[in-house]
Amino acid sequence: MPRLKGKKIIIGISGSIAAYKAAMLTRLFVKAGAEVRVLMTPAATAFITPLTLSTLSRNAVLTEVSSESGWNNHVELGLWADAMVIAPATANTLAKLAMGLCDTILTAVYLSARCPVFIAPAMDVDMWRHPATQENVRRLQAFGNRLIPVGVGELASGLSGEGRMAEPEEIVQLLETFFDPGSELAKKTVLITAGPTHEPIDPVRFIGNRSSGKMGIALAEEAARRGARVTLILGPTHQNPPATACDVIRVETAQQMHDAALSHFPTCDVAIFAAAVADFRPVAAAANKIKKQAENKGITLELTETPDIAAALGAQKRAGQILVGFALETQDETKNAFSKLQRKRFDFIVLNSLNNPGAGFQHDTNKISILRQDNSVQDFELKPKYSVAVDILDEVETALKRSVK
């Protein structure tokens, strides 16, 4: 695992039963060659001892901003680190981070840190789902922090649901990918369509779908991190745009998405069609809001097809260009996806399964299979969407390497 060798990593532990996983996390980072400094909130010390963490990290563990032996320089530590990983992050610590409170060494270092910060929450399902916690998570993501999605399963409370801290191996893999230096995608131009489209019925109503754009945004972030120039054509979504430098073009309708994609297609090396484009739109949008009147009982909307962006661009595909499609099927999944792969001239297609809890629209996790031109199929585990983005872009890199030869 050479990517983490010599990397300076701060692990911040707050007071959750999942703090025991931080011992394994520390061990794995040290084993991968990273230099690790551990910070604990006072509450965390009730769950795991600083002695365990200082032994595993081979460094003194800080639990207070100041102690009898002096003041712990949080600013210096914040500047020292290449990455900070807050795991487990309790609801309380999340709230403090979101509000900028700094009453513990962990939160003080967080505020001083200039490095990327990864946050792995751990809490009971109801605390996790509470709008206050969800708002804090959104705030933290908007600040550019990377949220490591919670797992689903048995919780310490005895309840079952969302709220489990991500596994240490998963967190280490994430950081390894983050620090991966070379990439086939460096300096390449990547075009990504993402999110839903809204097809107006009248000035206030539209035909849309449940796509959040999260998968496409994760792809844009990961491609940009690998050094690609990214143009993200994003349909209407409330998600934050990518945290990394991307050219984001906001569109509403399939036609607008088509026009924007078409103008960027000739210069792109890779096009990823992650958008859930509406297949039909009303023939004409009413100029005024359609009223609920007696004569409108049983109203009929006349629909017409929208342009198939992927197919239109696929028809213009030039040698060396890599095209990636998505498929979301409810029946005959593999057969339909293979037929799309051929019809739209994709190099490979990503099949989303709706049959797995946690996969598909709106979720932070996804379960995919990759279907290739040589008829091979690779199934992946249920993972956070940013890890799925890693798998997809690894496949893109393989395809790029192959196309050069």
Give the interface with ligand C5P as residue ranges (CB under 6 A).
193, 254, 273, 275, 277, 306, 308-310, 325-327, 340, 344
Nearest-approach distance from CB 218 to ligand C5P, in angstroms: 15
Place of tokens 């859930």: 276
Supply 169's token pair.
């191996």
Least gap, CB of 337 to ligand C5P (angstroms): 8
* 59 part of the active site: no
Angstrom distance (rounded) from CA 395 to CA 383: 16
Distance in Å, CB of 303 to ligand C5P, minimum: 13
- Token pair 């005024």: residue: 288
CB of 3 to ligand C5P, least distance (A): 31
Closest CB to ligand C5P among residues 128, 273:
273
Alpha helices in 104-165 (DSSP H): 105-112, 125-129, 131-142
Q: Which residues of 179-199 are buried (b: 16+ CB within 10 A; e: fewer)?
A: beeebbbeebbbbbbbbbbbb
Nearer to ligand C5P, 54 or 209 (CB): 209
Q: For 90, how many CA atoms within 13 A lie in the half-sphere containing its CB?
A: 18
Long-range contacts of 255-259 (CB under 8 A, 24+ apart): 255/281, 255/306, 255/307, 256/197, 257/193, 257/197, 257/233, 257/309, 258/306, 258/307, 258/309, 258/312
We find the least distance from the C-beta atom of residue 371 to ligand C5P, in angstroms, to be 12
Closer of 12 and 325 to ligand C5P (Cβ): 325
The closest of 60, 21, 25, 20 to 39, measured between CA atoms, is: 60
Looking at the Cβ atoms of 188 and 344, the one nearer to ligand C5P is 344
Catalytic residue among 73, 209, 336, 356: 209
**Residue 233 tokens, joined:** 């054509």
φ, ψ of residue 265 to 5 degrees: the values are -65, -45
Between 243 and 254, name the residue whose CB sits nearer to ligand C5P.
Answer: 254
Kindly list the catalytic residues.
Answer: 209
